[in-house]
Amino acid sequence: MVHLSGTDRPTLPPRAASAVDAPHDHLLVRGAAAEYADQLTRAVAQVAARFERVDRPTSGATQAELERLVAGVDLDRPVGLDDALRELDEVYLEHAVWFHDPGYAAHLNCPVALPALAAEVVASAVNTSVDTWDQSTVATLVEQRLVRWTADLVGLGPDADGVFTSGGTQSNLQALLVAREHAAHRLTGAAYEPELAAQLAVLATAETHFSIVKAARLLGLGSGAVRLVATGADGRMDPASLSRELGALARDGVHPMAVVATAGTTDRGCIDPLAEVAALTRAHGAWLHVDAAYGCGLLVSPTRRHLLDGIEHADSVTVDFHKSFFQPVASSAVLVRRGEDLRHVTFHADYLNPREAVVPNQVDKSLQTTRRFDALKLWLTLRASGAQALGELFDEVVDRAGEVHRRLRRDPDFEVLAPGSLSTVLFRFRPAGLPEAVADELNPAVRQALLEEGRVLVATTKVDGRPWLKLTLLNPQVTLADLDAVVEAVRRSARQHLAARAPEAVAV
Ligand SMILES: *Cc1c(COP(=O)(O)O)cnc(C)c1O
């Protein structure tokens, strides 16, 4: 499976420009425009040639094979761009995991919008760092326009602000940091100090993304700071349970630093009842953070925007454009209702953003300093294709998930979990009579076997301690027939596993 023969090497166009040899010939400097265009064209041709041949989500090479492949590259002996690109094709592209392939249905990875890829080229060539005005000028304004545009979609009001981040994990961390400072000022009139940790709690459900618990730890809150609110059978936060937990905290003299609602959850795509949660949160003087890393695509959906009703009450919101807005990694933002709350991440340095500065410095609002101009990708996507197109694409995958769910429900070989609101389907191979314990062992084994074959990639997760398989759909090109093929691959593999087991299990 590891091809190093060179027989299927893509052919690159003949070199036009002069050979590159002097050290500074490797830099994009004055006089290098033609060389820049030539090298980038070669890289793009290489990717396009590979893309045309990709017919499975991954090669299925083992970890040991890949380790040998990477270790075999001599980093101290440069070979020139053409050979380096050919080598890259064999080492990386041949074995990469391709999210656009119809056999890929594992995690929250999307095929990417072409205008966004064009923007990547632009942003990386200019190499803008969106930290201070003097390093970014108009790029700061572009990012601010997009933050405003997104805040308006959410409905956060005129004082909202935010910043692009590296992902939902960072957005959640920053939101909880701001919530912590907000709580500290409320309780003590001053910034957070570690002594306060015992007096603060974060309320979330067991379905909440793990980055929330991680953020709480990074923020110095105790291990018990995240209190779990129960979910209903539909996987959504139960408002009655939230009310009870808030009441219990009040009795214990613990301040609810933040309530985290998810729209929707990573596994089941469940959207917590945002309006009810917001009302309870407000009544207890807590901060409402809505993690819409996955569900943010609904903001531009022509038919499903109502599923996010209530999100406009949030104090902070996480959106991952690199999930349901079809943007390349990384593209995420954290938004806050009151822009002034971002001052909690503002620190000044004389060499960068002095206190007396009168220009907008995005570094004042970010956990990062040097920061990619990721906003440009969304900008070019909106200008080239528009938000409605993105919303329609997300709608398509949500529709498709519903169709697959209905098919699986009628299939006697599978159990299927009640559908969420987004584009995941949780199912497991368990024909009538197959003992639960056997199914528990079988389903993860099927997933592993499929990964080793490399033709169909699904995910696994646990629900109430039992393993389930998960399809995550984010590719609108994937048809119901493609997904039938994925399900058939699971069935075939499961039956093979069963046949290899003890006779009493084979009878099913
Ligand atoms: C994916 C996800 C995150 C984490 O986002 P990253 O961009 O992977 O850091 C957070 N919350 C939810 C609900 C998610 O689905």
* CA 249 to centroid of ligand 1, rounded, Å: 28
Could you give phi then psi for residue 176, rounded to 5 degrees? -70, -30
For residues 57 and 95, what is the distance between their CA atoms, to the nearest angstrom?
Answer: 9
Ligand 1 touching residue 325 (CB < 6 A): no
Ligand 1 touching residue 281 (CB < 6 A): no
Ligand 1 touching residue 297 (CB < 6 A): no
Which residue in 199, 192, 203, 186 sits closest to 285, CA to CA? 186
pLDDT of 25 reads 82
* CA 162 to centroid of ligand 1, rounded, Å: 17
Residue of 169, 207, 272, 334 best suited for mutating to test ligand 1, as the one with most atoms within 8 Å of CB: 169
pLDDT of 160 reads 98
Q: How far is CA 138 from CA 179, 193, 360, 373, 397, in A?
A: 30, 38, 11, 11, 35
Ligand 1 touching residue 294 (CB < 6 A): yes
Dihedral of the alpha carbons of 397, 51, 166, 206, in degrees to the nearest 10: 40
Q: How far is CA 198 from CA 63, 143, 194, in A?
A: 44, 38, 9
Ranges of CATH 3.90.1150.170 domains, the chain: 388-505
In a 3-state reduction of DSSP, which class is residue 473?
A: coil
Specify the DSSP class assigned to residue 495. Answer: H
pLDDT of 23 reads 78
Ranges of CATH 3.40.640.10 domains, the chain: 117-385
Task: Say which CATH architecture domain 117-385 belongs to.
Answer: 3-Layer(aba) Sandwich (3.40)
Tokens of 12: 């690159």
* CA 277 to centroid of ligand 1, rounded, Å: 21
Specify the residue with its C-alpha closest to ligand 1, atom 15: 266
Residue with tokens 């095929």: 111
* CA 106 to centroid of ligand 1, rounded, Å: 14
Ligand 1 touching residue 423 (CB < 6 A): no
* CA 293 to centroid of ligand 1, rounded, Å: 5
Tokens of 47: 């990717």
Q: How far is CA 254 from CA 163, 218, 278, in A?
A: 30, 20, 19
pLDDT tens track, the chain, 508 positions: 344 444 455 555 555 544 556 778 899 999 999 999 999 999 999 999 999 999 999 999 999 999 999 999 999 999 999 999 999 999 999 999 999 999 999 999 999 999 999 999 999 999 999 999 999 999 999 999 999 999 999 999 999 999 999 999 999 999 999 999 999 999 999 999 999 999 999 999 999 999 999 999 999 998 899 999 999 999 999 999 999 999 999 999 999 999 999 999 999 999 999 999 999 999 999 999 999 999 999 999 999 999 999 999 999 999 999 999 999 999 999 999 999 999 999 999 999 999 999 999 999 999 999 999 999 999 999 999 999 999 999 999 999 999 999 999 999 999 999 999 999 999 999 999 999 999 999 999 999 999 999 999 999 999 999 999 999 999 999 999 999 999 999 999 999 999 998 665 555 5
Ligand 1 touching residue 332 (CB < 6 A): yes
Ligand 1 touching residue 272 (CB < 6 A): no
Ligand 1 touching residue 425 (CB < 6 A): no
Q: Which atom of ligand 1 is nearest to the CA of 167?
A: 7
Ligand 1 touching residue 167 (CB < 6 A): yes
Q: What is the CATH number of domain 388-505?
A: 3.90.1150.170
For 38, the enclosing helix (H) or strand (E) is helix 33-53
pLDDT of 13 reads 58
Ligand 1 touching residue 293 (CB < 6 A): yes
Residues in Cβ contact with 44 at an 8 Å cutoff, skipping those fewer than 6 apart: none
* CA 319 to centroid of ligand 1, rounded, Å: 9
* CA 132 to centroid of ligand 1, rounded, Å: 27
Long-range contacts of 45-50 (CB under 8 A, 24+ apart): 45/10, 45/12, 45/13, 46/10, 46/12, 46/85, 46/86, 46/88, 46/89, 46/93, 47/93, 49/10, 49/11, 50/10, 50/89, 50/93, 50/94
pTM, entire model: 0.95
Ligand 1 touching residue 266 (CB < 6 A): yes
Q: Which atom of ligand 1 is nearest to the CA of 172?
A: 10
pLDDT of 6 reads 42
In a 3-state reduction of DSSP, which class is residue 114?
A: helix
For 479, the enclosing helix (H) or strand (E) is none
